[in-house]
Amino acid sequence: MNPKHNIKVLRVVTNPECVSWHMGKTLTYLAKDFDVVVAGERVSINVNQFPDVAWVDIPINRKINLWADLRALIALYFLCRRYKPDIAHSIMPKAGLLLAMAAKFAGIPVRIHTFTGQVWDTKKGASRFLLKLVDQFIVAMNSACLTDSPSQSTHLFNNRISDNGSPLGVLGKGSLIGVDLDRFDVGRIRKASVISRESLGLNESDFVISFVARKSMDKGALDLLRAFADARRKAEHLKLLFIGPDESNGAIEQLRLNQPEIFIGVVEMGLIGNHEEYLAISDVLCVPSYREGFGTVVIDAAALGVPCIGSRIPGLVDSISDGETGLLFPVGNTSELENLFIKLESDRGSLKVFGRAASGRVRDYFSSEVLYYHLKNFYKDQLKLFLHSR
């Protein structure tokens, strides 16, 4: 950890998947301007992709585990004392809670957490109350907090999670890292990719819907399967790319056993690292989530000219411009989702209009260069505030 720059930044995440999904090209930019360390569960597997970043593996469980959490807290505290970052920045709830305490106790001057969707949104009773208290604690322990979309800031503010009575800040118009336009270039993908409709058993005439997310209740995975099956009975050219790790606690397998006909026309995959190649052969992305941050995959698809159907919830109302770059439907309303599938399958001209608008909006507001510009300035502003307060 030999500093190359005047300012040192520590980024903390829960697991290695967060590195590509929630930091991506930002790390490449950061390493050019700052001395950067990333800590979290098995994060060092990314060393070859980001050779100018230092990596520290610290086991951080997503779920509550008091002894494991205490060990992670202690490890983060000693990392902060040893590395002495000027800025400590976390994403994801558990990483946010542990780093907020470790960095505060270690005297790190600028402590930042970015909220990317609220776990308590789908909880009730005491669980919801306690999880909201945790978010309020994270805000109190940090010197500044961000959200990844304007509607998330409003949502948190309405739930008494704020920055001294004001909504939490947002970088630009939202998103964590924006879109790497070099990676999400449809021309490059079509030349280089081995993934094609033919390789997946799909026809050019098929109307291909993509789902790229954790297959969980929160992400609306079962809603999607039911809406798709109902729509396919009326429009047989519908096909579904159902991509992501199964986190449904057995619900999907139970559905497969009890109603196997629901999976007709469904192409299933687990966790992948090249989702841009699947999006590039899709007609529309579907994000039927019950809770979401900004919805990074929405703008990934948009960069490729693929519009999105999404739930009308905080986060997605910012990444999808309803009626311009895609369509929104009431969360959990599978009948309306079914109708939108049928509507777009029969009106592919509108789909192309949505796709062009989506691509243009990404280039104007959500490229990785644009988002990094805002992040770099935010870091420097926070350091200036600290120096002025001394």
CATH architecture of 8-178+368-389: 3-Layer(aba) Sandwich (3.40)
Pairing of β 8-12 and β 87-91: parallel
Asked if the model's pLDDT at residue 50 lies above 70, the reply is yes
- For position 16, what pLDDT does the model report? 83
Asked if the model's pLDDT at residue 177 lies above 60, the reply is yes
Instruction: Give the model's confidence band at 24: pLDDT under 50 very low, under 70 low, under 90 confident, else very high.
Output: confident
Which residues in the chain are classed under CATH 3.40.50.2000? 8-178+368-389, 186-365
Asked if the model's pLDDT at residue 390 lies above 80, the reply is no
DSSP string, 8-62: EEEEE-SSTHHHHHHTTHHHHHHHHHSEEEEEETTGGGGTTT-TTSEEEE----S
Would you put residue 187 in left (φ > 0), alpha (ψ -120 to 50) or beta? alpha
Element (H, E) at 202: none
- For position 275, what pLDDT does the model report? 94
- For position 293, what pLDDT does the model report? 84
- For position 161, what pLDDT does the model report? 94
- For position 94, what pLDDT does the model report? 92
Asked if the model's pLDDT at residue 1 lies above 80, the reply is no
Q: Give me the mean pLDDT over the 310-336 stretch.
A: 96
Do residues 330 and 336 lie in contact, with contact meaning Cβ atoms separated by under 8 Å?
yes
**DSSP reduced 3-state for 95:** helix
Who wins on pLDDT, 181 or 65? 181
- For position 344, what pLDDT does the model report? 94
Q: Give me the mean pLDDT over the 365-373 stretch.
A: 95
- State pLDDT tens for residues 240-258: 999 999 999 999 999 999 9
Q: Which two tokens stand for residue 107?
A: 């005297």
- State pLDDT tens for residues 149-171: 999 999 999 999 998 899 999 99
Query: From CA 350, how far away is CA 329, in angstroms rounded?
Result: 17
- For position 31, what pLDDT does the model report? 93
pTM: predicted TM-score of the whole model, two decimal places = 0.88
The alpha carbon dihedral of 99, 104, 106, 110 has a sign of: positive
Do residues 269 and 238 lie in contact, with contact meaning Cβ atoms separated by under 8 Å?
no
- State pLDDT tens for residues 208-238: 999 999 999 999 999 999 999 999 999 989 9
Q: Give me the mean pLDDT over the 349-367 stretch.
A: 95
Given the structure tokens 């790229």, which residue do they identify?
212
The alpha carbon dihedral of 281, 278, 219, 166 has a sign of: negative
Instruction: Give the model's confidence band at 139: pLDDT under 50 very low, under 70 low, under 90 confident, else very high.
Output: very high
Asked if the model's pLDDT at residue 363 lies above 90, the reply is yes
CATH of segment(s) 186-365: 3.40.50.2000
Q: 122-126, 265-269, 310-314, 379-383: lowest mean pLDDT where?
A: 122-126
Give every strand in the sheet of 110-115, ordered side by side.
Answer: 54-57, 35-40, 8-12, 87-91, 110-115, 144-147, 169-170
Query: From CA 246, how far away is CA 269, in angstroms rounded?
Result: 9
Rounded to 5 degrees, what are φ and ψ at 203?
A: -100, 155
- For position 17, what pLDDT does the model report? 83
Other CB atoms within 10 Å distance of the CB of residue 375: 22
- For position 3, what pLDDT does the model report? 57
Asked if the model's pLDDT at residue 172 lies above 90, the reply is yes
- For position 21, what pLDDT does the model report? 79
Q: What is the dihedral of CA 154, 158, 160, 163, to 10 degrees?
A: 30
Q: Return mean pLDDT, the chain.
A: 93
Give, in order, the Cα–Cα distances in Å from 365 to each of 143, 200, 352, 359.
27, 33, 20, 10
